[in-house]
Amino acid sequence: MNGPALAQLPVTELKGVGAALQLKLEKLEIYTLQDLLFHLPLRYQDRTRIMPIGGLRPGDEGVIEGEVKGADIAMGRRRSLVCRLQDGTGTITLRFFHFSAAQKNNLKTGTRIRCFGEVRTGASGLEIYHPEYRRVDDTVITPVEESLTPIYPTTEGLNQARLRALTDGALAYLANGSLTELIPENLRQQWRLPPLNDAVNYLHRPPVDADQEQLLDGYHPAQRRLAFEELLAHHLSLLKLRQRTRQSGAPQLATTTHYRDQFLLQLPFPLTGAQQRVSQEIAADLSQPYPMLRLVQGDVGSGKTVVAALAALQAVEGGFQAAVMAPTEILAEQHFINFSNWLEPLGLQVAWLAGKLKGKKRQAQLDVIGDGSAQVVVGTHALFQDGVNFANLGLVVVDEQHRFGVHQRLALREKGRTDHRAPHQLIMTATPIPRTLTMSAYADLDCSIIDELPPGRTPVNTVVISDQRRPEVVQRVRDACGQGRQVYWVCTLIEESEALQCQAAEVTAEELREALTELRIGLIHGRMKPAEKADIMASYKAAELDLLVATTVIEVGVDVPNASVMIIENPERLGLAQLHQLRGRVGRGSVESFCLLMYHAPLSQQGRERLAVMRETTDGFRIAEKDLELRGPGEVLGTRQTGMMSFKVADLQRDADLLTRVKQVASQIATDPQLSDAIIHRWLGRDEQYASV
pLDDT per position as a tens digit, 273-322: 999 999 999 999 999 999 998 989 887 777 889 999 999 999 999 999 99
Q: Is 542 exposed, middle or buried (0-12, 13-18, 19+ CB in 10 A)?
A: exposed
Average pLDDT over residues 566-571: 92
Average pLDDT over residues 407-418: 62
Average pLDDT over residues 7-30: 90
* Whether pLDDT at 390 is above 80: yes
Question: Which regions of the chain carry the CATH code 2.40.50.140?
Answer: 49-144
For residue range 482-535, list pLDDT tens digits in order. Answer: 999 999 999 886 555 566 667 778 889 999 999 999 999 999 887 788 778 878
Which of 400-414, 455-469, 493-507 has maximum average pLDDT? 455-469
**Percentage of residues in the chain having pLDDT higher than 70:** 89
**Maximum Cα–Cα distance for the chain, whole Å?**
98
* Whether pLDDT at 638 is above 60: no
**C-alpha span between 12 and 18 (Å, rounded):** 6
Looking at the chain, how many residues does it have? 693
Residue 442: CB atoms within 10 A of its CB come to 21
The pLDDT, as a whole number, for residue 324 is 95
The pLDDT, as a whole number, for residue 499 is 67
Looking at 379-383, 409-413, 643-647, 650-654, which range is the least confident one? 643-647
DSSP type of residue 344? G
Coil, strand or helix: which one is 351?
A: strand
The pLDDT, as a whole number, for residue 586 is 87
The pLDDT, as a whole number, for residue 404 is 56
Question: Which regions of the chain carry the CATH code 3.40.50.300?
Answer: 258-450, 460-617
Architecture of domain 258-450: 3-Layer(aba) Sandwich (3.40)
Bridge partner list, 566: 488, 595
- The whole-angstrom distance between residue 12's C-alpha and the CA centroid of its chain comes to 34
* Whether pLDDT at 406 is above 60: no
In sequence order, the 6+-apart residues with CB closer than 8 A to the CB of 100 are: none
Question: Which fold would CATH assign to domain 49-144?
Answer: OB fold (Dihydrolipoamide Acetyltransferase, E2P) (2.40.50)
Question: Which fold would CATH assign to domain 460-617?
Answer: Rossmann fold (3.40.50)
The pLDDT, as a whole number, for residue 65 is 93
Looking at 19-23, 52-56, 311-315, 455-459, which range is the least confident one? 455-459
Coil, strand or helix: which one is 323?
A: strand
Kindly indicate the confidence band of residue 641, based on its pLDDT and cuts at 50, 70 and 90: very low
The pLDDT, as a whole number, for residue 412 is 58
* Whether pLDDT at 377 is above 60: yes
**C-alpha span between 151 and 71 (Å, rounded):** 30
The pLDDT, as a whole number, for residue 643 is 36
Bridge partner list, 234: none
Kindly indicate the confidence band of residue 4, based on its pLDDT and cuts at 50, 70 and 90: very low
For residue range 36-58, list pLDDT tens digits in order. Answer: 999 999 888 888 889 999 999 99
Give the phi and the psi of residue 606 in degrees, each rounded to 5.
Answer: -65, -40
pTM: 0.66
